[in-house]
A and B are shown apart, each in its own frame.
Chain A
Amino acid sequence: MKLRYFAWVRERVGRDEEEIDLPDGVADIAGLMAWLAGRDEGYAAAFAEPDVIRAALDQTHVDHDASLAGSREVAFFPPMTGG
């Protein structure tokens, strides 16, 4: 599964994308964020306040309880500030 990061999530994680094998027991966006937060200090800083983070599955906005099953690409980013 491909993970992508944007804006300050990207800066804190220290990379813009990576491929991972989804660990057993991680089924949804919230679970994936909790697992990522435990990887190192950068990930911990990026996902310290998971409620703030927005997520997309295959380039469509989703809530944190969305199932990861069948998705190829997950993206994490702060609330959007375009326009």
Chain B
Amino acid sequence: MKPWNPHIRVQAEPFDAAHESQILTAGRKDVGAVVTFTGLCRDEGGRLAALELEHYPGMAEAEISRIAGQAKERWPLLGLTAIHRTGRIAPGEPIVLVVTASAHRKAAFEAAEFLMDFLKTRAPFWKKEHHKDGASGEWVDARDADDDAAGRW
């Protein structure tokens, strides 16, 4: 396997999942599986106007890189991209992208799930809700289910 580095980005702009997936597979014939996960902003039954994503610049990129490095050690991956957006994000817009490439599907599926579980519990991002009635809402509470999901690895 050729040496490679994960693509990690923290950005305000939207991303194109299909394009990011193509970058990982362009010009190569050893990739047999690509898993693409996109996390979107929900409107929570119509009451949410937007989410505000705050992050810790520097540590956010560093922590995602650490998580990506662990995934790379654990599964025989051929490529990995993780992108997390910041700032104000409207319902229907993408928030986070994970793309994993491997020779066989199991590694790509498992690594993508591992990356998302640890992105949610270890990467320094925080969501605040903005409601449609104009009220600046609450900070989203961390879910025990997310800790449980990360704990199973």
Contacts and interface: CB of A to CB of B under 8 A. Distances in A.
Interface of A: 4, 6-8, 56, 59-61, 75, 77-83
B137 interface: no
Interface residues of B, number: 28
Interface string B18-62: 000000000000000000000100000000000001111011001
A82 B139 contact: no
A75 to B, nearest CB: 6
B114 interface: no
B contact face: mostly helix, strand, loop, or mixed: mixed
A83 B54 contact: no
Interface of B: 39, 53-56, 58-59, 62-63, 84, 95-96, 116, 119-128, 139-142, 146
Nearest to B119: A83
Given A81-B125, A82-B127, 5 more contacts: A6-B126, A61-B122, A79-B121, A83-B96, A83-B120
B95 A81 contact: no
